Structure 1
Amino acid sequence: MTVLTRNNVVLSGNPGAPAMVFAHGFGCDQSMWRFVAPAFESTHRVVLFDHVGAGGSDLSAYAPQRYGSLDGYAQDVVQILEALELGPAVFVGHSVSAMIGALAAAQRPDLFDRLVLVGPSPRYIDDEGYRGGFSAAEIDELLETMDDNYLGWSAFIAPVIMGNPGRPELGEELTNSFCRTDPAIARRFARTTFLSDNRADLARVTTPALVLQCREDVIAPPEVGRYVHEHLATSELVLLDAVGHCPNLSAPDQVIDAISAYLSHVAARS
């Protein structure tokens, strides 16, 4: 089994162009980027992949010890970039993959040109002087409900995460995505995600970053986006006129425009 097979890596776009890697969030797979990634195929070598346990990844590669922290997923990203040998990449990470990308970039900055962090959260649980969006009791309840009835939990939480009640088809898509994920792996990934605290790791990231934050997001509220922006050495913050935690599905044009503008500014300055 190769790294590329393990993570179901799919390449498209311009073979001679810089790489742009898209990483999906919890309970999803690479299809969540289908409205965004194609917009960059003329200017970049587009790389899509599935985290182990999701989509078309090799489920036999899942090891609870390796993936008991986000560092295991970050190591996968490093291995993918090493295997592809495409040079420093623009890494676009949604939700938990934003922090996975940040951890990977902190470990191997030579592999990353820019980070685009969509709805990032270094800690989901509130702390003194920090608002993550959830109390410890709320996270405990969320995880207990998931353990008791994963399919029921998925049907309830997905529309809440999506945050677009006027477009129920989006919530249904996310529900279906959750339900396609192996429940045992999903439960472990949820614990790894929602109990993580990577605030101190932000200081280790030297790669320039764009933070994309929706104006309303129950999973990663605007305060979290500002926190990430303020604690990265070099970053820009863009507040999208969008609601919910998945603008790659609900507001893809805004995501495309924000990324394109950021990369254009970078090119103009260089």
Structure 2
Amino acid sequence: MDIDRRNNVTVTGNPHGRTVVLAHGFGCDQNMWRLTVPALSSDYRVVMFDYVGSGRSDPSAFSEDRYASLDGYARDVVEVCEALDLHDAVFVGHSVSAMIGVLAADLAPQRIGALVMVAPSPRYIDDEGYRGGFSAEDIDELLASLESNYLGWSAVMAPVIMGNADRPELGDELTNSFCATDPDMARVFARTTFLSDSRDELKTVQVPTLVLECAQDVIAPREVGAFVHQAIPGSTLVTLDATGHCPHLSAPEATNEAITAFLASQA
């Protein structure tokens, strides 16, 4: 299989620098990292890709069975790393990709040497002693709405996820990204994302890890960032002065500064 074509892999930046892999979240694609790439490209080799079912990936590679769990996406990450023969790469994952990165690092520890988790959440549904931000009923309603009218759901939810109501162009961009995704494939990724529980997998992390949370995020409240930080020994938690779930778009300078400072500390 042509992994580069399957996942629309792109490589840019400094070919002699350490490799940084940028992984997008649900409903997005690699274009969401366009404000981060310039901050990295001088010193680092930058790899981006689209998950199958997103962006310009190969839709013929989609398998509902494979992508019904985060393991399927993690295997894609490992296969991208293998195709490029990456070693000791830094995996930067936004939202659900943060957990996909945890799984990928466990599957191929020689490939991934550090993690940056941007607005991560190991479980979106509240549990005893754990606040994920949503009740089970909330998630059931969210998924039912998505499955019955994906375009309508996108128009309503994307601005909520993005936050920054005073900057509607950000919500519009995320809406357009959601709407460009095949509804059937988005349905699978959404169920996989919002019903996942990766809390136990956090204990497997053995690499330096940066956890980036936003001061205000309705999708991943600060209790979640604290949980992730406490669950990963030696991790660093940075709270960005940012609103919403996509700080690499809404607060790129602060996000880039935190990422580059972490990368410099790993040199």
What is the TM-score when the length of structure 2 is the normalising length?
Answer: 0.98
- Aligned pairs (5 A) from 1:201-212: 201-212=201-212
Partner-residue secondary structure (3-state), 2:87: coil
Q: Cα distance, 1:217 vs. partner? A: 0.3
Correspondence for 1:110 = 110
Q: Which runs of 5+ in 2 are unaligned?
A: none
Distance in structure 1 (CA, Å) of the matches to 2:3 and 2:266: 31
Distance in structure 2 (CA, Å) of the matches to 1:179 and 1:115: 29
8 Å CA contact 1:124, 1:194 repeated in 2: yes
Correspondence for 2:17 = 17
Partner-residue secondary structure (3-state), 2:145: helix
Distance in structure 2 (CA, Å) of the matches to 1:236 and 1:149: 40
Correspondence for 1:214 = 214
More divergent stretch after superposition (229-238 vs 24-33): 229-238
8 Å CA contact 1:67, 1:189 repeated in 2: yes
Distance in structure 1 (CA, Å) of the matches to 2:86 and 2:153: 40
Correspondence for 1:33 = 33
8 Å CA contact 1:18, 1:86 repeated in 2: no
8 Å CA contact 1:18, 1:87 repeated in 2: no
- Aligned pairs (5 A) from 1:7-86: 7-86=7-86
Q: Cα distance, 1:109 vs. partner? A: 1.4
Distance in structure 2 (CA, Å) of the matches to 1:266 and 1:73: 26
Partner-residue secondary structure (3-state), 1:92: strand
Distance in structure 2 (CA, Å) of the matches to 1:151 and 1:68: 21
What is the TM-score when the length of structure 1 is the normalising length?
Answer: 0.97
8 Å CA contact 1:87, 1:111 repeated in 2: yes
Distance in structure 2 (CA, Å) of the matches to 1:185 and 1:176: 16
| 1:104-154 superposed Cα distances (whole Å, 9 cap, x missing partner) | 012211111210000000000000000000000000000000111110100
Aligned residue identity for 1:74: A
Q: Cα distance, 1:54 vs. partner? A: 0.4
Aligned residue identity for 1:5: R
Q: Cα distance, 1:168 vs. partner? A: 0.1
Q: Is the aligned partner of 1:229 residue 2:225?
A: no
Q: Cα distance, 1:234 vs. partner? A: 2.6
Partner-residue secondary structure (3-state), 1:123: coil
Q: Cα distance, 1:15 vs. partner? A: 1.1
Aligned residue identity for 1:198: S
Q: Cα distance, 1:87 vs. partner? A: 2.0
Distance in structure 2 (CA, Å) of the matches to 1:241 and 1:16: 33
Correspondence for 1:195 = 195
Distance in structure 2 (CA, Å) of the matches to 1:62 and 1:28: 16
Correspondence for 1:144 = 144
Distance in structure 1 (CA, Å) of the matches to 2:3 and 2:25: 19
More divergent stretch after superposition (102-111 vs 219-228): 102-111
Aligned residue identity for 1:113: G
Q: Which runs of 5+ in 1 are unaligned?
A: none
RMSD: 0.8
| 1:233-254 superposed Cα distances (whole Å, 9 cap, x missing partner) | 2310000000100001000101
Q: Cα distance, 1:208 vs. partner? A: 1.2
